[in-house]
């Protein structure tokens, strides 16, 4: 069997890849490996980057596949979409957010609805990352761009940016705050819904 070199380029620029769209509740390694192997190197690298996997030294396509499969397996019990990593803020698509809220999940979800042009949103971004790091695997922390996915702003009846919404394990809204929130308050907000 020949191995495709990672230096070859793929044509896939799709927003949602097979790796991100796989439901991870019951992790099936062989199915995931098959889906990953069907992706282009470009798509694999993009998914590695989203998961903070350093891929620059990975020469073979299979190295990328194995690294992604390992990361997906580790996050399988944490993320319903397979796209989230514990201790990280993940920017999600509408489809990924839908999956994450389909419940039941092991942890609540903290969502930041933001806009790229919003000053308070930019101020809050590092605070959200620090909160995610401290919360670890106790809370799923995500953000969604309201300009890319306006249907979620409408669906959640967002009146201002940023809006932080906490969802319980069943995917039901539990609490929300509008305006920039600092790390301590983000952690307190999330932890209030972990029990």
Catalytically active residues are 118, 121
**DSSP per residue, 132-157:** HHHHGGGSEEEEEETTT-HHHHHHTT
* E strand or H helix that includes residue 166: strand 163-167
Measured CA to CA, the distance from residue 100 to residue 177 in angstroms comes to 20
Q: What does the block give as tokens for 22?
A: 């796989």
How far is it, in rounded angstroms, from Cα 30 to Cα 143? Answer: 30
Which stretch of DSSP H or E encloses residue 23?
Answer: none
Element (H, E) at 113: strand 109-114
């Amino acid at each position: 069997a020949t191995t495709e070199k990672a230096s070859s380029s793929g044509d896939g620029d799709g927003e949602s890849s097979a790796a991100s769209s796989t439901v991870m509740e019951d992790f099936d390694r062989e199915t995931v490996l098959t889906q990953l192997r069907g992706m282009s190197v470009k798509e694999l690298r993009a998914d590695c980057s989203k998961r903070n996997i350093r891929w620059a030294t990975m020469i073979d396509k299979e190295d990328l596949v194995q690294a992604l499969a390992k990361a997906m397996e580790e996050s399988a019990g944490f993320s319903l979409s397979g796209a989230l990593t514990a201790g990280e803020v993940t920017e999600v698509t509408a489809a990924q957010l839908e999956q994450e809220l389909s419940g039941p999940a092991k942890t609540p979800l903290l969502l930041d609805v933001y806009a790229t042009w919003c000053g308070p949103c930019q101020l809050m971004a590092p605070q959200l990352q620090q909160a995610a790091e401290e919360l670890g695997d106790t809370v799923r922390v995500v953000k969604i761009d309201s300009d890319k996915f306006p249907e979620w702003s409408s669906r959640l009846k967002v009146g201002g940016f940023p809006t932080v919404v906490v969802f319980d394990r069943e995917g039901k809204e539990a609490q929300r705050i509008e305006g920039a929130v600092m790390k301590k308050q983000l952690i307190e907000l999330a932890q209030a819904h972990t029990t």
